[in-house]
Amino acid sequence: MPEYNIYPMDIVYTVMKILDKGVDTLQEITQLEQKLLPHLFKSNLKMYYKATIRPENAPVPHNPDDPTSLVDEN
Report d(CA 48, CA 20) in Å as an integer.
Answer: 17
Each residue's pLDDT tens digit, 16-28: 999 989 888 888 8
Tally of domains within the chain: 1
Residue 25: burial class (beta carbons within 10 Å; 0-12, 13-18, 19+): exposed
Q: What is the DSSP letter of 68?
A: T
Indicate whether 71 belongs to any domain.
no
Indicate whether 33 belongs to any domain.
yes
Q: Is the pLDDT of residue 47 over 90?
A: no
Structural domain range at position 45: 1-50
Indicate whether 65 belongs to any domain.
no
Indicate whether 62 belongs to any domain.
no
| Mean pLDDT over each residue of the chain, to the nearest integer | 80
Q: What is the DSSP string of 8-55?
A: HHHHHHHHHHHHHHHHHHHHTPBPHHHHH-GGG-SS----B-------
Residue 6: burial class (beta carbons within 10 Å; 0-12, 13-18, 19+): exposed
Indicate whether 39 belongs to any domain.
yes
Q: Is the pLDDT of residue 52 over 70?
A: yes
Indicate whether 72 belongs to any domain.
no
| pTM (2 d.p.) | 0.54
Indicate whether 64 belongs to any domain.
no
